[in-house]
A and B are shown apart, each in its own frame.
Chain A
Amino acid sequence: SQQGEEDPQALSIQEGENATMNCSYKTSINNLQWYRQNSGRGLVHLILIRSNEREKHSGRLRVTLDTSKKSSSLLITASRAADTASYFCATDLNQAGTALIFGKGTTLSVSS
């Protein structure tokens, strides 16, 4: 079973626009992570936000976490064609954080 659910499943935008993806999960977590995957291979870690954090920034990425709503959002500002990829949120499957459970992902297409 999958803990995280990303929304929307697919998103198409123009270069320069912002892209927002959401993730909802079911049980309490230690942290939540966002990954990017190109062409169905090679996940790249983007950002980790801990359960006691509410917002985190990394370059053009902004992640928020609302533990009361069990949800997170990933905002990519000023998108580029190179941002085209699938984006996944991942949460801890166990307390030790040694296994991640991923959602089905959001497929982002950025056209120039």
Chain B
Amino acid sequence: GAGVSQTPSNKVTEKGKYVELRCDPISGHTALYWYRQSLGQGPEFLIYFQGTGAADDSGLPNDRFFAVRPEGSVSTLKIQRTERGDSAVYLCASSLFGGSEQYFGPGTRLTVT
């Protein structure tokens, strides 16, 4: 594909609801990353996939956050029982292999009301 795409671009949800954010990486990229960016801050690492497996999930803030990449391409970030503090831009990136240059998507702006 032309680049990393993310859907939806914006998501507004009520506190306590469940949300799913989708990431389509660049075709052929084996590594996929999720980051979260709060207003006025730099992106914060959440999780890294190599192929289908989560190789590093040390950045996930708590067990309400979960991500999958079942076929080694598209990934979904899932947030249960959303809280207002989860409001942020969620960025996805992919790279040819783990540790190589990361290409970022446009992000999904999540607002929890």
- Interface residues of A, Cβ cutoff 8 Å to B: 2, 4, 30, 33, 35, 40-45, 48, 88, 90, 93-94, 96-105
Q: Are A45 and B101 in contact (CB-based, < 8 A)?
A: yes
What string of 1s and 0s marks CB contacts (under 8 Å) between B85-112 and chain A? 0000101010000110111111101000
Number of B residues contacting the other chain (C-beta, 8 Å)?
30
- CB < 8 Å neighbour of B43 from A44, A94, A102: A102
Residues of B within 8 A of A33 (CB): 101
**A42/B106 contact (C-beta < 8 A), A99-B45, A102-B43 known:** yes
Q: With A and B bound together, what is the CA distance between A105 and B89 in angstroms? A: 16
Q: Are B89 and A100 in contact (CB-based, < 8 A)?
A: no
Is the CB of B12 closer than 8 A to any CB of chain A?
no
CB distance from A43 to the nearest CB of B (A): 4
Q: With A and B bound together, what is the CA distance between A4 and B59 in angstroms? A: 17
In the complex, residue of chain A having the shortest beta-carbon distance to the beta carbon of B4: A42
